[in-house]
Amino acid sequence: MIVRNIQQKIIGALDNFRIIYIDGARQTGKSTFVKELAANLNYTYVTFDDDDAFDLATTNSKRFFETYLPPIVIDEVQKVPKILNIIKLFVDNSQAKGQFILTGSVDLLKSMNISESLAGRMAGFKLFPFSYSELKSTNFNLIDVLFQENFYTYFANIENKTDKIMCEKLVHGNFPEINTIVPKYRKQWFGNYLKARISKDISSLTESNLRKLDKMPDLFTVLAAQTSNLLNINNIAQKLALSPQTVDNYVYLLEGLFLIDKLKPYAKNISAQVKKMNKMYFVDTGIVSYLIKATPEKLLFDRTLYGQLLENYIFNEIQKQISFSDFEYDVSFYRDNKTNEVDFVIENEDGKYICIEVKSAQNITDEDLKGLRIFYNLNKENIQAMYLFYGGATISARKIADTSVVLLPHHFLF
């Protein structure tokens, strides 16, 4: 069984918080993870996917907690939202740590069924599809490493990957179950997965009847074609013949189901961020590939599409690595009014930045460094390091002023 890198971080939080909440998209392995955690920590495990437990919690919550005593794991807790108020009262009457581990496939803070968050009583964690470091059982955190001067020592023994292998990984993605399915059935898995999210999960986030729900598959496809780009709600609304408000509501719901994520623009003050468009990424490149009918062969010949999926993949890896780091990081992208851009600006707790640019090309030109150069000139005093992931085979470097831009082969992340 693949060990999830976030495990020790969650175990440590149990000693400091009364409630642990683990969320993330469906099929990221939450149930498998918490079942094993419950067995190792001697917690009672119950899931609201079980009809008996669901009925008992819905009809007689007092008896439910007489039957299932803390410390307890409750899986898919969003199915019985009223239970959260009872859990709140329970932990308010007991200061013991680590009483509840809850999981959910929706963002509780976006759920209209939840009247009050459990802020102050719980620590929240997100479980993603497998990271490359989990699949490879590596013992270092990419983001932590890139903030270190001796970062290069961590990449010394990484084997080379062919473009074919990387294209296959981009198309198949990293959902745990997808790697157990014969390739010819993977399209069917993704199709069923997305249909289930539309038909079953959206109701968990809204009490109102969504109009024109039949447009949701079209929205998925339009969003997939624009992944790794600016999220222009008005343009999407025009393509789908929907109002911008309707599209915005749909996007909000898809965020709540952890299917897509928005990346905010870099700005030195929050008000400036509000005025600019976000970039948008999917939780997994396998979903994108399914929606736009990408194949490994197509990616090998369409370098623009390959670059788009590659950037989405690296964004996913950044999010995963941050989720199990012991340090706090803030991620944004830089884009000026002349469309000069840095794909990822990562800020640590000390206010220092690393910049990451993603290029699919094997040969890097001076023009490829333009965005990094502009951002460096604006923020040189706070930049700790700059990296460019590229299609080459070896680590090399370019110069911006007296600072190196390190070129890292993106096959390191596969």
Pick from 306, 351, 360, 359: which is nearest to 329 by CA? 351
> Which of 81, 102, 126 marks a domain boundary?
126
Mark whether 107 and 222 lie in a shared domain: no
User: Strand pairing partners for 346?
Assistant: 331, 354
> Which of 306, 327, 346 marks a domain boundary?
306
Mark whether 121 and 34 lie in a shared domain: yes
Cα–Cα distance measured from residue 253 to residue 112, given in angstroms and rounded to the nearest whole number: 11
- The confidence score (pLDDT) of residue 114 equals 54
Mark whether 81 and 214 lie in a shared domain: no
Residue 166 lies in a domain: yes
The CA-based diameter of the chain, rounded to the nearest angstrom, is 69
Mean pLDDT of the chain: 92
Residue 112 predicted with pLDDT over 50: no
Q: How many CB atoms lie within 10 A of CB 323?
A: 18
Phi-psi domain of 53 (left: phi exceeds 0; alpha: psi -120 through 50; beta: other) = alpha
| 147, 284, 313 from 317: Cα distances, Å | 16, 10, 6
For residue 253, the domain's CATH number is: 1.10.10.10
DSSP 92-134: HT---SS-EEEEESS-GGG-TT-SS--BTTEEEEE-PSPPHHH
Mark whether 167 and 278 lie in a shared domain: yes
204 pLDDT tier (thresholds 50, 70, 90): low
Cα–Cα distance measured from residue 34 to residue 46, given in angstroms and rounded to the nearest whole number: 10
The gap between the terminal CA atoms of the chain, to the nearest Å, is: 19
Cα–Cα distance measured from residue 354 to residue 352, given in angstroms and rounded to the nearest whole number: 7
- The confidence score (pLDDT) of residue 273 equals 60
Report how many domains make up the chain: 2
What domain range includes position 214? 160-306
Residue 212 lies in a domain: yes
Residue 81 lies in a domain: yes
Query: What are the φ/ψ torsions at residue 282 (nearest 5 degrees)?
Result: -90, 160
DSSP 279-342: EEEES-HHHHHHHHT--HHHHHH-HHHHHHHHHHHHHHHHHHHHHT-SS--EEEEEE-TT--EE
Residue 327 lies in a domain: no
- The confidence score (pLDDT) of residue 117 equals 58
pTM of the model: 0.94
Mark whether 176 and 302 lie in a shared domain: yes
Residue 151 lies in a domain: no
DSSP 226-250: TTTEE--HHHHHHHHT--HHHHHHH
Cα–Cα distance measured from residue 29 to residue 49, given in angstroms and rounded to the nearest whole number: 15
Residue scoring higher pLDDT (140 or 325): 325
Q: What is the pLDDT of residues 344-385, one digit of tens each?
A: 999 999 999 999 999 999 999 999 999 999 999 999 999 999
H or E stretch including 353? strand 353-358
Residue 232 lies in a domain: yes
Mark whether 294 and 173 lie in a shared domain: yes
- The confidence score (pLDDT) of residue 175 equals 97
> Which of 306, 325, 342 marks a domain boundary?
306
Q: What is the pLDDT of residues 13-34, one digit of tens each?
A: 999 999 999 999 999 999 999 9
Instruction: Work out the average pLDDT over 143-169.
Output: 91
DSSP 3-44: PPTTHHHHHHHHTT-SEEEEE-STTSSHHHHHHHHHHHHT-E
User: Strand pairing partners for 281?
Assistant: 261
HSE of 374, CA atoms in CB hemisphere, 13 A: 15
H or E stretch including 375? helix 370-379
Q: What is the pLDDT of residues 226-248, one digit of tens each?
A: 999 999 999 999 999 999 999 99
Pick from 279, 272, 268, 273: which is nearest to 382 by CA? 268
Query: What are the φ/ψ torsions at residue 217 (nearest 5 degrees)?
Result: -60, -40
Residue 396 lies in a domain: no
Residue 201 DSSP code: I
For residue 82, the domain's CATH number is: 3.40.50.300
Residue 296 lies in a domain: yes
Mark whether 105 and 213 lie in a shared domain: no
Mark whether 113 and 165 lie in a shared domain: no
Mark whether 117 and 185 lie in a shared domain: no
111 pLDDT tier (thresholds 50, 70, 90): low
Residue 158 DSSP code: P
In one-letter notation, the amino acid at residue 323 is: S
The token pair that represents 114 in the structure block: 């939840």
In one-letter notation, the amino acid at residue 372 is: L
Mark whether 185 and 257 lie in a shared domain: yes
HSE of 299, CA atoms in CB hemisphere, 13 A: 27
